[in-house]
Chains A and B, each alone.
Chain A
Amino acid sequence: MRPPITPLAPRPSQYGIDPSLVKTRASDLPGMTSVMLRELFPDLPEVIFPCEEGVAAIRKATEESLENVDMSMIKPEHSVNILAAHHGFTLLGGEPYAEMLKTIKDVIEARTGCKSIRLRAGVGLRFRETEEYIKRYGLDQHFNGKAIGVAPVDQGIAIETEVGTLYGIKKIYDADWVVHAHNSDVREVHFHRQVDRAVKPFGMAYARIETRSTYHQNLGPRAANFTARAIFDSPFVQSKFAFASFLTVAPNGIINVDADNDLYALNDRITQSGLRYYGKIMTLFGEIDECIAVLDFPCPVVYVFAAGVIYANFAGANTDLYDLDTALPAYTWYTEAFYGKRGKPLLDEIPRVNPAIKMCVHNYAWTGYPSAFFSEHIPTVVVGQEQADHFNMDPQNLTYMKHAMVAEDLKAAMEFAYKVTGTNKAVIFDGAMGGINVSKPLAEFLLKKAPEVSKRVDEELLPKWLRQRGVIL
């Protein structure tokens, strides 16, 4: 068995506890090992990052990809907003995304002579998160002080769409042209269901609260992402859209950079790769019969990830998140909303949270996303009183600790979890690059199950998923 992969170090942030309080990483515990994702699925693609060359490989791939993009609409006297979102900065340490953003700026400037190029970085529910990243990765300097974080409560702008007025963030669109700089990591499959993944930020990170609330409250679990398409297709946004540049991502790393003037063409490509590569690992996670989930990554509870699968999606892995015939995953906000006062779903057909997760050990994860649903439905042990106190002061998590226990340290938490659940399988959501840190029994389980899952996805599930989205191979 391989030694565990060293995970990303804890990060100083107002949304997490001080890194010095994270005394032990789960991957350092006895009995942990790692499995490389290409051991599980040999057909996963070659990656350009992680690599020995480092982020220089990202710069090179971005430059090559942008060679095929038309920038003739951008004149020297124009202004350009490069639109970014927080999620990219959580991928593989964040440097690859930051490097792509810097390269896009440099290429636009060199090719068009345009000097007024700004970075506008949207957020999820942590309104200063991209401010932190802008400083961390030196983006403020690279953009000559023209790099800012924007939030959904900032001043808005009305956007007329074919389904009526929706609202964007004014500073996203305050330039002659916008460049959509994103990534294809699937992340919130429970929300977007891999439908128009490439378009989603127009209804989310670049959008005002009215639009985001439309997505999560007005349209329904499978119609939600139409909000993004409606905004992107609007004459207003179309009049400003120049091109898109994406880090294309697989569970084992960054495959390449893909840029296009046609966002929907790019969307079809990443839909295929998202379903193919993430579909396999997601389906494999759904096969896990019992385990302890350990959270150990600098981002909110729902977003900590293992092998590209976020904890929120593991909580719903007992349902096929990609199958659009299934209305509700076991976790999504619509599902959470549909639990009545007795703690049960209002309809019998609403699936319960993945019963394979016998316990969650929360060693290190951030606030800034409403996560009480998880501690309410999955036995949860939080490591350290400081972390518990931190959650108690988050307006989005006032009841998270109401349902969770506190352990003094990680060792005690894991001993308790093993003893109470009776399972010896543990999966660590620590964002390990290229592989997954797990306990040895779970490693053996995954290696045994993977070939059958791979075959099933290739032969049965993938064709169905693509057909449901109108994407033809």
Chain B
Amino acid sequence: MKVINQLAVVDAEKCRGCKTCERVCPVLAIKMENRKAVVDNERCRGCANCEQRCPDYAIKMVKLEQPVLVKVDVSAVDYALVEDLCRKAKFNPEQLICYCTATRAEEVAAAILQGARSPEEISFLTGVRTGCKVECIQPILRLLEAAGIKPEPPKGGWQWYGRTVTVWEIPEEVKKKYASRGFYFDEDIKILDRVANAPVQERSDS
């Protein structure tokens, strides 16, 4: 869930068509037209990735007169399915997976159950990954994978490259090799498992 209160605006005179903004946009809201960046205002989630990476300082963030709330309605989906998907991906449904937008695993799971098939669609629908743009790509990929979906990164983009290792997948020989250096793999598995399996505090369908 996110309140969108700003939009990216391109200064066409400064834009040199380098495509950096297009490559970093987490919701694919920017396209090149006649070698100039053009923002789809309906898709923009106000994350400022483009503004922060434009090498020519050609993009500004402009305050919206009327903020827009983006959110997936979790109660519109069978909560048992939401819970199953989250726990399969080893998340508690109420676990925060995006610290900036306070989006919980259940909302991303609900987006997937309602048809989202890629991180870009999920970000567009929930606002997740449009705050810091950094920390929540892996939970999204894990939830998609748990739903049997293997998305492809946007062609030519830098939005994301792939899912990476989780603590449950660390090979035993690696754990053993570094056991004396302060890496508590098995102990962390225990706490992550306990969190994932903890009861929810407030079911979204109740």
- The answer to whether A and B come from one shared complex is yes
Main SS at interface, chain A = loop
Tell me the chain A residues, 388-444 only, with Cβ under 8 Å from chain B.
392-393, 395-399
Q: Are B135 and A340 in contact (CB under 8 A)?
A: no
Q: Are A370 and B189 in contact (CB under 8 A)?
A: no
Closest B residue to A129 by beta carbon equals B52
Q: Are B164 and A346 in contact (CB under 8 A)?
A: no
List residues of chain B with CB within 8 A of the CB of A212. 134-135
| Cβ-neighbour of A338 out of B92, B132, B134 (below 8 A) | B92
Q: Are B165 and A163 in contact (CB under 8 A)?
A: yes
List residues of chain B with CB within 8 A of the CB of A95. none
List residues of chain B with CB within 8 A of the CB of A214. 138, 164-165
The segment out of A63-71, A132-140, A218-226, A445-453 that lies at the interface is A218-226
A23 CA to B2 CA in the complex, in Å? 33
Top 10 nearest A-B pairs by Cβ distance?
A220-B188, A340-B201, A222-B184, A195-B182, A213-B138, A470-B180, A127-B52, A469-B182, A370-B99, A340-B94
| Given A346-B94, A395-B48, A398-B5, A218-B195 contact (CB < 8 Å) | no
Interface string of B132-175 (1 = CB under 8 A from A): 11111111001000000000000000101111111101110010
List residues of chain B with CB within 8 A of the CB of A339. 96
Q: How many A-B residue pairs have CB under 8 A?
A: 199
Q: Are A125 and B188 in contact (CB under 8 A)?
A: no
Interface string of A322-365 (1 = CB under 8 A from B): 00100110000100111111101011000000000000000000
Q: Are A153 and B158 in contact (CB under 8 A)?
A: yes
The segment out of A82-90, A180-188, A203-211 that lies at the interface is A203-211
- The yes or no answer to B6 lying at the interface (CB within 8 A) is yes
- The yes or no answer to A240 lying at the interface (CB within 8 A) is no
A residues apposed to B, CB below 8 Å: 125, 127-128, 151-156, 158, 162-167, 193-196, 208-214, 216-223, 225-226, 229, 324, 327-328, 333, 336-342, 344, 346-347, 369-370, 372-373, 392-393, 395-399, 468-470
Closest B residue to A350 by beta carbon equals B195
Q: Are B183 and A195 in contact (CB under 8 A)?
A: yes
A342 CA to B189 CA in the complex, in Å? 25
A374 CA to B46 CA in the complex, in Å? 23
List residues of chain B with CB within 8 A of the CB of A225. 183
Q: Are B192 and A128 in contact (CB under 8 A)?
A: no
| Given A210-B164, A327-B191, A393-B63, A153-B102 contact (CB < 8 Å) | no
Q: Are A153 and B24 in contact (CB under 8 A)?
A: yes
Q: Are B138 and A210 in contact (CB under 8 A)?
A: yes
| Cβ-neighbour of A153 out of B61, B133, B171, B178 (below 8 A) | B133
| Given A338-B195, A347-B195, A211-B164 contact (CB < 8 Å) | yes
List residues of chain A with CB within 8 A of the CB of B181. 195-196, 469-470
Q: Are B183 and A222 in contact (CB under 8 A)?
A: yes
